[in-house]
Structure formats: structure tokens, C-alpha cells
Amino acid sequence: MNYEIGKKLKDSTTLKIGGPAARYYRPGSEEEIRSILLDAKECNAPICMLGKGSNVLFEDEGYDGWIIETITNFTGIKQLDPNRVEVLAGTTNEQLANWLAERGLGGFEFASGIPGTVGGAVIMNAGAYGGEIKDIIESCEWMDEDGNVHNTPAEELDLSYRHSMFSDRFGIVLKAVFQFEDRDKEDIYHAMDELHERRWTRQPMEMPSAGSTFKRPENGFASALIRECGLQGTSVNDAQVSEKHTGFLINRGQASCKDFLELVRIVQDEVYRKKGIHLEMEVHVIPKEGK
């Protein structure tokens, strides 16, 4: 199967940081994904799945493994029953939200503005504004490192805050089945528009970022803690704590991975020093040598 050599990962991530990948694949079928996996196993090459490239940080030196990107060719939505929908992993959250709204199916509005794919949303149990994937998912079809396909019901996916079974084991999400509810089409669009306006008003959507940088600590919000510590606007070269929403660390243009991680350390150290709380990164850092 064809692949790119040396593709710069900053061009494939929302943070716009990352060096070249050894190989960059864009498979269009389950069979192609299996072929890549088996070749990688034979070559002892690490694998990294990539959708829209949010919530991830690659090193400046790049990635020695193989990237499998789903957003280009591995997309699709199929209505199984009036309220049950099967979605391929590379489909973006925005694409699915609009498809559902047009058919009067509600329950996914919360994710309409999350900049990622359905596969990524399942892996991290993505959530926003009171909703999360575990509320609507019925089952997930995924592939293990040997190319075997499994179908796992929602109750066995170990879904919790920003966590799933895939947080602790290798697995490539191929598709998922969701259960939605009938709602008035105009009400769905209105809710999505309100959330869109809320995001653009309160979050630095106009700047490169990986999304929320830190997980929500117990009994509080990372953004509030960072703001209370006076860290808004703090920067390391072009990596900066957003003044618009302190839960986002942004790239003002030429930030490096080292800049970003140094800024993360500064924020973590200062919040721990002043509040006694350790902020855990939500963004996944992918080492050059692979996972």
C-alpha cells in the first residue's frame, strides 16, 4: 500500500507541532488497516492512529513509527434502524452532528464542536457541556495488533472521564454504533449553534491548540486554578497560556514541542505550589521512538 515518507506531523495536528513521520498511511478499508498492522509487526515498527490530530503532541524530531490516518479515506455513516447509527472511525464529530441534525436525531449536539473524529472520541470518551460518548454508544468494533476484529458492547469498554479500555491497551477503533433519540430538527440546530457561539466566545478557537490541555481535577476546573495562579498569558517562546481561556495552551506560530512541554511544567509546578493540586495532562505526548 502507498504511503508518504517524512510527512511533517505539524501539518496534520491542530496544535501545529511535530516533525516528520517515518511512514504516513491513509487507508480506506479494514483490509488495508490489517495489512499495515501486520507489516508493522513484521518490521517491529510502532503504530500511531491519527484522526483530525487534536489532543496529541508529537516531538520536534518527529515519529519513527508508522502513522495510520483515518480522516481522509476511512469515513462513513450508516443508519441501521430509525435511532441506531453506525459510524466509521475517521468521520469527524462535526460531520456526524450535521448528519444527525438533518435527520432529527438528537444526543450528539455536545460533540458537534469537538475538533476530532468519532474514533478519537470513543477512545477518550470525549465529552463537553454535560454530555459524553458513554451516554450514547452501544458498541465498538476494533482491531487488535494481530489484525483480529472484536465487537465490544458499551458496558465492557470501561468508559469513564477521558478514559476507555483503549487507554490501557492497543486497539484500533474501526467503527461504533450509537443510539440517538428523536428530536425536532430546528431544536437540534439551535442547540448546536448556541454551543458553537459559546465555544468561539470563550475558547481560543482561532489559534492552534490541542484542545483542553489538562484533565479536570477533583472538585474544580483546571482553567480556574490556572487563572487564580495568575498564569494567563504566560509563555515560553510561542507557546502560551491562552488569555481567553486558561485551560488552553496555544501555539502563537512557531512553538516547538519543547516549548509546549516546558510551559506545561511551569503551569503544573505553579498550580501545585500555590494550590497543592497536580494537573494531569489531557493531551497525549507521542515520543519519537513510538508508544
Helix axis angle, 93-102 to 185-202, nearest 10°:
150
235 counts as catalytic? no
252 counts as catalytic? no
**Catalytic residue (one of 164, 212, 223, 256):** 212
**Catalytic residue (one of 162, 223, 242, 256):** 162
32 counts as catalytic? no
Which residues are the active-site residues? Answer: 162, 212, 282
